[in-house]
Amino acid sequence: MKVGLIGLGIMGKPMAKNMLKAGYDLTVSDLNKASVEEVCAAGAKTASNEEIGKTCDVVLTMLPNSPHVKAVMLGENGVANYMQNGAVFIDMSSINPVASKEVAAALAEKGVEMLDAPVSGGEPKAVDGTLSFMVGGKQEIFDKYKSLLETMGASVVRCGEVGAGNTTKLANQIIVACNIQAVAEAFTLAQKAGVDPELVFQAIKGGLAGSTVMNAKGPMMLEGNDKPGFKIDLHIKDLNNALDCAHTVGAPVPMTAEVQEILQWLHNNDCGSNDHSAIAKYYEHLTGIKIGR
C-alpha cells in the first residue's frame, strides 16, 4: 500500500514517523521544507501533491481547517484531480463536518471514497502513537484502513457516515475547552482562598473531578508552561466550527460560547500560539496572581 500524507505540522510530523516505524511506504508533502527533510530522513519520500495523487493508494491530510483541505483536494491543481478511481482519501484534520460532506460528495463523483478521521490527544500522543481517532465513512472503507490509523492511535472508533468523525471531534473540543477553563477557575479559587493549588490537584485528581484533561493541563498551569501541545488559535478554530455547526442544527451551546470568548481574549493579547492550558492566563489577568507561583 502506497500512502501519501500532506501536512507535517505539530501533529502531522510525528504521525508520519509512526507510519514509517510501522513499515508503510510513505510519501509526504508540506510547505515547511525543514519538516519534509526531517521526515524524509526517517525514511519517507517527498513528491508534489500531483504526484501523490497519481501514485498513492490512499491520501491523508493533516491540515489546519476546512479551506486548506478544500484547496489541497479540490483546488485548481487539487490532489483529487489526479487520484485514481478506487483510491481513498482520509482527512485527519479537524474541520467543519459540513465541509467534510462537501469534499466527500465531490470525490464520489471521481470514484474516490473518503473517511473523515480527526484526532484528539495533542502532540504528546501524536509522538507516542496513542491518539484517539473519531472516524466517519462507510464501514467497509473503515475496516480496510483501520490498521493504518492504528499505527498512530490507541483508539480508532467509527462514529457513523462521513461527517460523523468531525461532529464527534467538535463534541470532544467542547468538553476539553470547558474542562480546561474549569481547572483554571478552580485553581484560581484555591489560591485566592490561601490553599496551594498543587495540593488541591493532588487531592482531587483521583476522585470524580479527576480527568485526562486535568492530569495533562493542570501541571502545565502550575508550572507556567505554555509550550503548545495544542495552540489556543487552533482551539479557537475548532470552537468556531462547533458554534457554526450548533447554530446550523439548533443546538444550545452557551458554555462553548463563553470559553470561546476567553480564548479570543487570549488571542488578542498575544497568546494565540500558547498551549490551550494558557486559559489560566485569563484568570491571572483578572486576579493579578500566577497560579501555583
What the block records as the C-alpha cell of 192 is 485566592
Residue 260 φ/ψ, nearest 5 degrees: -65, -35
Residue 114 φ/ψ, nearest 5 degrees: -140, 145
Integer Cα distance of 244 and 223 in angstroms: 34
Which one is catalytic: 17, 101, 169, 237? 169
Sort strands 119-120 and 131-136 into parallel, antiparallel or unpaired: antiparallel
Judge whether 227 counts as a catalytic residue.
Answer: no
Find all residues with CB under 8 Å of 281, minimum gap 6, and list them.
226, 266, 269, 271, 274
Neighbour-count burial for 182-197, b at 16+ CB within 10 Å, e otherwise? bbbebbbebbeeeeeb
Positions annotated as catalytic residues are 169
